[in-house]
Structure 1
Amino acid sequence: LFNTLFELVTGVYMWLLNRIVTQKIMCLAVILLFTVGIVYMSQKVSSGFVPNEDQGTIYAIVQTPPGSSLEYTNKVMGELQKMTKKVEGVHSVTSMAGYEIMTEGRGSNAGTCLINLKNWEERKQNVHEIIEELEHITDGLGGRVEFFEPPAIPGFGTSGGFSLRLLDKTGDLRYQELQVATQHFMENLTKRKEISGLFTFYNASYPQYEIKIDNQMAMQKGVSIRTAMDNLDVINSGSYEQGFIKFGRFFKVFTKAAPEYRRNLEDLKTLFVKNDDGDMVPYTSFMTLEKTKGANEITRYNMYNSASIRGFPAKGYTTGDAIKAIREVAKDTLSREFDIAWEDLSFDEAKRGNEFLIISLIVVLFVYLVLAAQYENFVLPLAVLFSLPVGIFGSFSMLKLMGLANDVYAQIAVITLLGLLGKNAVLIVEFAVQRRNDGLSLLNAALEGARMRFRPILMTSFAFVAGLIPLVLSEGAGAVGNNTLGSSAMGGMITGTLIGVLVIPGLYFVFATMVDGKNLLKDEVHTSITESIVGTKKHRSKLHRRLTGQFKLLIRKLKLTGSIDTKPSVVADTKAPVAAEAEPPVAAEAKPPVATEAKPPVATEAEPKTDDKPED
């Protein structure tokens, strides 16, 4: 039944080929149409780099209001821990107050939670759905809470999505101005549909005290400003002095005031510093304290004060879409005093260029050179290369249909398709070239090559497509990468096979017509050994008859001279003298009828026939 159905399909296929294989303009127009389709679909498919996967882990960062105590932050962290444990799909929660994992900063109002999810088989929700539920239940907790995934590649930052820095390029300590610019920039970013989950932890509203020094008064008191500031630094922050070894261990020595002497502002009024004369001078005589607001941490990027901004692409968009939107907003809203810079994985994604196009062209060039050497022709390989756009168009179409991005996984699939689809085209073109060398016309050679290779191409291609089904339907760890790789390869293989088998014979007919009967070089003589072996049937038969006659003549001469014995065992041995020594009795035995018998007919047959005209 299968063979009957396949013969029916083959008959329909050949019926179509007989009507379209000679339509040169239509064939080239189809290839041009698919090429234009590739350009169009590549712009419609979202671009990406490395997709975020469900790694079974969620990070949560908590920031209580500026100036909050560590006890209050720890209380908020405990409430967050209780809430997250009630969410379906959460396995365990670990919290820590006083540390923020995003910038690795420390503060009394910062905290971090590590949320471990259950195995993928034990939960129905993915990581994005769980994050949405956590954001809903933690609203109004008493502090700002941000949830995010780990980075797609460990070591490239601390979170997934995109990350950038807003730079203050003036070089001044304008923390308040940087905060205003950051908030204004983020307000414009939130209006873009490609961006979601935008947040920053830069805040210049922390309550602080600014120390102001009266330089003239300090000089009158004989106090060195540098000495006074160094003493304050040692008393409040501490200073490493030296170390010593005892009991086989190394101990470090730090100098720092006891906690009871640096607990509040009143303690600063009791501090003294030694002047140049060795007298003790109170700090209050030349120093005053003023309330102010500033940043808890000062971070610089490329020597500029900066504010870190992070976020995620909205549903249905990729990081490439988000990066493009951020660039547009920055160009329209930021003044000349500010600029943006990318960091973590976004840095590599933003700076990448046309590497994929360059790699694809190198692959195509390599394939072309190999085929040109095989066919000994620079035109016939174009029949193979011109068939590739059909499959590439199918790859982009499948990505758009599945809602996936043109990322690293999709590009790997396209490079793979260049080889697989090229192999299908080579099967048809190679067989057609052989049939043309056997004397068939170009049309019949193209049809015969397509008919003979139709079944092998379908079998191998659809076996490959069947193997991609688990990748397309995969879930759990690495599902996004598997879906992208499988979908891109499947779409390209299906389109390249079903439409390619109709286009490839026509392409062969187009390019073979251009070079049929023409030599690559002027006055070229085809005398290479490869051309002699794969020549026409007539030349091969002449060569076979000539070699056979010469071989028979050599055997008969050896028999007449007695150099070899007529026994098959001895004749089969190519070293006759050695065989004669190995069997002395046999060599000594006289056989007059065989050794002395004259055979004139044989002698006359030994002369090669001269009926055939000698070859040029």
Structure 2
Amino acid sequence: MDRPDRAARFDLNAGDIVAALRGQNLEVASGTLGQQPMDNPGAFEISVQTQGRLRTADEFGDVVLKSSPTGALVRLKDVARLELGAQDYATNASLDGKPALALLFNQEPGANALETAETILETVAAMSKRFPEGLSYDVVFNPTQYVAKSVEKVQETIFEAVILVALVVFVFLQSVRAAIIPIVAIPISLIGTFAMMQAFGFSLNNLSLFGLVLSIGIVVDDAIVVVENVERNMKEGMSARDAAHRTMDEVGGALIAIALVLSAVFIPTAFLTGISGEFYRQFAITIASATIISAGVSLTLSPALSAILLKPHSTKDHSVRWWQRPINGFFSRFERLFDRVSHGYSALTGKLIRMSVLVLAVYVGLMALTGVQFGRAPTGFIPASDQSYLITVVQMPAGTSLKRTEDMLQRVVTTALDHPDVAHAAAFAGLDGATFTTASNSGTVFLPLKNIGDRMDRGRTLDMTLSDLRQTFGQWREARILVIPPPPVRGIGNSGGFKMYVQDRSGAGYPALEGATWSVAGPANQLAPTESVFTVFNTASPEIYADIDRIKAEQLGIPVEDVLDTLAVYMGSSYVNDFTLFGRSYRVTAQADAPFRKTPDDIARLRVRNADGNMTPIGSVATFEDRIGPYRVARYNLYPAAAVQGDVTAGYSTGEALDAMERLASEKLGEDFSFEWTELALQQKLAGNTAAIAFSLAVVFVFILLAAQYESVTLPLAVILIVPMSLLSAVSGVLMRGMDVNILVQIGFIVLIGLAAKNAILIVEFAKQAQDKGMSAEDAAVEAAHLRLRPIIMTSFAFILGVLPLVIASGAGFEMRQSLGTAVFFGMLGVTGFGLLFTPVFYVTTRKAADWMAHRLLKRPISAPASAK
């Protein structure tokens, strides 16, 4: 800490002090004695060592600033106070109202978050044993806890899904031996999927685990189809071995087609770019890998196990044990019920085929309804999730000192801790939580909340806590206090909600920019979809303007550069160089001591050297005046800009909020100003039609593969036409639960394309085989629908119950799980119901269309019609 008055008495200015420090505190390489090249090298080479960097305050105090002809020395300690202090005094931290030092740990790219956190906690725990008395530590914010709990919940979901799938398989196959075969496919397929995930560099995160949850219902499907068909053939009197052989002839083509279709649905989405592509990619690779491995298992292991494990059904009852009788009774009633349903479905299928024109008209009507439902559905991006903490931003009047801001934060902390949902309050005076920059009039309080399970047990949601705190702090008048949720994706923005920049594109000036910004931020709070809209930009921060008379300075022989350097060093805390302590480098800084930088008069008394060597006060060449202006001005895409941030009102989607803000900004901003989105809102806008692209690619690839599989252009339509019905069911379910169409729902739509095609293929493939054997298209469709009803119901119920835990999810990360689960759950109900009714009609219609086209274009005879049974 320089004392400018003492320095001036010794005819020293700020530049002299900084130059002396830089000249006497530096890292040097002193070289080596006897180092080559030499004419007569010696026996040894000896390194030369000297002290370059200084290490202690006493050593810095002995730095020589000036010497006289008599040998008198002026040292740094003669004109300055030296201390080992903090590098930055712009912020102060406290925890629950007590002084604290905050340590922030950042994870390196590619590191395992959970392992990193565990290592840090173990290290700090070991270090705490050496803490002095009265010093302790507390971990108040650990985002990996949310990750760990969320992953744990998904793992529980996977276990629940396996149990439910196994139960469905057992009920329909009614044999432990038969149920073992599809269940064995689950671990084999998942282990293979883990290997593929590792090969692609994926970690076990929420997205990849979601993919595994969906994969469970998919991987058992193929094995179920194999086992059911073997059982059906065995009921006709065939041995298990022969039944397995015949099954491969009957369903092998369908299984290959299903694997190709599901891969065609997911793999193209893996090449999408942007943040949406990252979401799609992990799902795509995970599910595609599971599907391909499952297909291999169903074509090899499943028939082999069927031939070994399955036994002919015995009609005799004398060997049945007492505890098996109620189970067998249930199975008998179930079979009778299913047989009635199966025969009723066959009759209904025949009627629908005969009324195909009416059925197609209904289909067109449902297509129109699908469009209406999508038009009604609000759009979102990434669901906001309860991460068990909130951010409180405190804005004091411009120019407020750090001490006053700290006092206000203490009041905020005390009030927040009185709320039953708040566990801790970590306050940072001087930190602007809206921009994560420093300002003396700003403060931020991070509010870790109590365990999400405990809060949900009490019926408390994050929105409730957020609303309570906003209502409480909204009544305060001494400061503007904003409570905002964290960002849904860490690393993309500092808070949840949305953020836009109002840009000055014509140089209108900062006051005009402030007015334009408030013309948007003010009315935005009156819009229905938005709330807590604010801006921290203002042009009323107090300033002292030093007006340097450059002509007078030149006349007095005072270099303007020296005036500026003096201001920079004494007032601005100038960085000089570095020193070494505890094996690490730290900064050496120079600054005027506190009593010499309190008032404008202190600036005027600072002295600089003129051409005659005399020390002249800065006040002789500069005047000082009070002004106001912006404390900090951001630039966004080259233009001066001010941020407008806000949150989405409960019950509205982010898409609705962004659209409302765009309309308001377009209306309020003049020609000199414009706006652009940033952070997560920008990503949502950039995602734009990503879902439409992914959906279109999936449908096109499915069509191409099926066209190649069936060597037909029309027959794939019998499979693809059912896809819109799955989307109708999915979006209706999303609307019914009050959700928006976010990126996870969109991923669910992609999944449904493959599932809808899978069920349709089972009917179409069998119908084609039957027609190739001489049946009419109508009879072949009815026969295929009848034979494929059980495997379709089995696989569909296995998948539906497999995703049921997602639909009713709770705990950490439940928002994303519910979004995905709702879409695929209701969509799969539509795939099953609409698929069973419409697919036979689509098959007959497309076959007739193919015959008609062949007759008209190739002059082939039209196949003879036959009545559906």
With normalisation by structure 1, the TM-score equals: 0.81
User: 1: CA distance between counterparts of 2:521 and 2:408?
Assistant: 26
Counterpart residue number, 1:148: 484
User: How many angstroms does 1:246 deviate by?
Assistant: 7.7
Counterpart residue number, 2:802: 467
Q: Does 1:132 align with 2:485?
A: no
Contact 1:27 1:507 in 2 (8 A): no
Q: List aligned pairs for 1:68-467, cutoff 5 A.
A: 68-123=400-455, 124-138=459-473, 139-140=475-476, 142-171=478-507, 174-244=509-579, 250=585, 252-467=587-802
Counterpart residue number, 1:589: none
Counterpart residue number, 2:221: none
Deviations 1:519-560 (A, max 9, x none): 7999999xxxxxxxxxxxxxxxxxxxxxxxxxxxxxxxxxxx
Q: Does 1:18 align with 2:366?
A: no
Counterpart residue number, 2:366: 34
Distance 1:247 1:61, change over 3 A: closer
Q: Does 1:3 align with 2:335?
A: yes
SS in 2 for 1:322: helix
SS in 1 for 2:632: coil
User: 1: CA distance between counterparts of 2:709 and 2:586?
Assistant: 74
Deviations 1:586-616 (A, max 9, x none): xxxxxxxxxxxxxxxxxxxxxxxxxxxxxxx
User: How many angstroms does 1:159 deviate by?
Assistant: 0.5
User: How many angstroms does 1:323 deviate by?
Assistant: 1.2
User: How many angstroms does 1:96 deviate by?
Assistant: 2.1
Contact 1:62 1:110 in 2 (8 A): yes
- Letter of the structure 1 residue corresponding to residue 770 of structure 2: R
Equivalent pairs, count: 524
SS in 1 for 2:335: helix
Distance 1:144 1:518, change over 3 A: closer
User: 1: CA distance between counterparts of 2:825 and 2:681?
Assistant: 29
User: How many angstroms does 1:481 deviate by?
Assistant: 1.0
- Letter of the structure 2 residue corresponding to residue 236 of structure 1: M
User: 1: CA distance between counterparts of 2:604 and 2:611?
Assistant: 21
Counterpart residue number, 1:530: none
- Letter of the structure 2 residue corresponding to residue 114 of structure 1: F
Q: Percent identity?
A: 32
Deviates most, 11-20 or 56-65: 11-20
User: How many angstroms does 1:125 deviate by?
Assistant: 1.0
Deviations 1:19-44 (A, max 9, x none): 22133432332332232222222221
SS in 2 for 1:198: strand
User: 2: CA distance between counterparts of 1:292 and 1:246?
Assistant: 42
SS in 1 for 2:674: strand
Q: Does 1:57 align with 2:389?
A: yes
User: How many angstroms does 1:505 deviate by?
Assistant: 0.6
Deviations 1:49-75 (A, max 9, x none): 111100001111112222322222222
User: How many angstroms does 1:219 deviate by?
Assistant: 3.4
Distance 1:249 1:324, change over 3 A: closer
- Letter of the structure 2 residue corresponding to residue 441 of structure 1: S
SS in 1 for 2:486: coil
Counterpart residue number, 1:537: none
User: 1: CA distance between counterparts of 2:363 and 2:856?
Assistant: 30
Counterpart residue number, 2:155: none
SS in 1 for 2:423: strand
Deviates most, 82-91 or 99-108: 99-108
User: How many angstroms does 1:85 deviate by?
Assistant: 1.3
Deviations 1:173-228 (A, max 9, x none): x2222221111111232232111111121122122222223343333333333332
Contact 2:722 2:834 in 1 (8 A): no
Contact 1:323 1:350 in 2 (8 A): no
Q: List aligned pairs for 1:516-531, cutoff 5 A.
A: 516=851
- Letter of the structure 2 residue corresponding to residue 150 of structure 1: P
Counterpart residue number, 2:375: 43
Distance 1:503 1:250, change over 3 A: closer
User: How many angstroms does 1:10 deviate by?
Assistant: 2.4
- Letter of the structure 2 residue corresponding to residue 406 of structure 1: V
Contact 2:343 2:786 in 1 (8 A): no
User: How many angstroms does 1:365 deviate by?
Assistant: 1.7
Q: Does 1:492 align with 2:835?
A: no
SS in 1 for 2:605: coil
Deviations 1:492-515 (A, max 9, x none): 111221122111111111111123
User: How many angstroms does 1:418 deviate by?
Assistant: 0.6
User: 2: CA distance between counterparts of 1:449 and 1:379?
Assistant: 18
User: 1: CA distance between counterparts of 2:535 and 2:853?
Assistant: 70
User: 1: CA distance between counterparts of 2:709 and 2:580?
Assistant: 76
User: 1: CA distance between counterparts of 2:654 and 2:621?
Assistant: 55
User: 2: CA distance between counterparts of 1:217 and 1:294?
Assistant: 27
SS in 1 for 2:788: helix
User: How many angstroms does 1:147 deviate by?
Assistant: 1.0
User: 1: CA distance between counterparts of 2:781 and 2:531?
Assistant: 55
Deviations 1:291-348 (A, max 9, x none): 2212222222222222111111111111111111111111111012111122211121
Deviates most, 445-454 or 280-289: 280-289
Contact 1:151 1:158 in 2 (8 A): yes
SS in 1 for 2:539: coil
User: 2: CA distance between counterparts of 1:54 and 1:386?
Assistant: 39
Distance 1:432 1:92, change over 3 A: same
User: 2: CA distance between counterparts of 1:289 and 1:43?
Assistant: 62
Name stretches of at least 5 consecutive residues in structure 2 with no aligned partner.
1-332, 861-869
- Letter of the structure 1 residue corresponding to residue 494 of structure 2: T
User: 2: CA distance between counterparts of 1:312 and 1:251?
Assistant: 41
Deviations 1:336-375 (A, max 9, x none): 2111122211121122221211111211122122222222
SS in 1 for 2:384: coil
Distance 1:206 1:432, change over 3 A: same
Distance 1:240 1:524, change over 3 A: farther
Counterpart residue number, 1:600: none
User: 2: CA distance between counterparts of 1:251 and 1:82?
Assistant: 36
Contact 2:556 2:610 in 1 (8 A): yes
- Letter of the structure 2 residue corresponding to residue 508 of structure 1: Y
Distance 1:215 1:24, change over 3 A: same
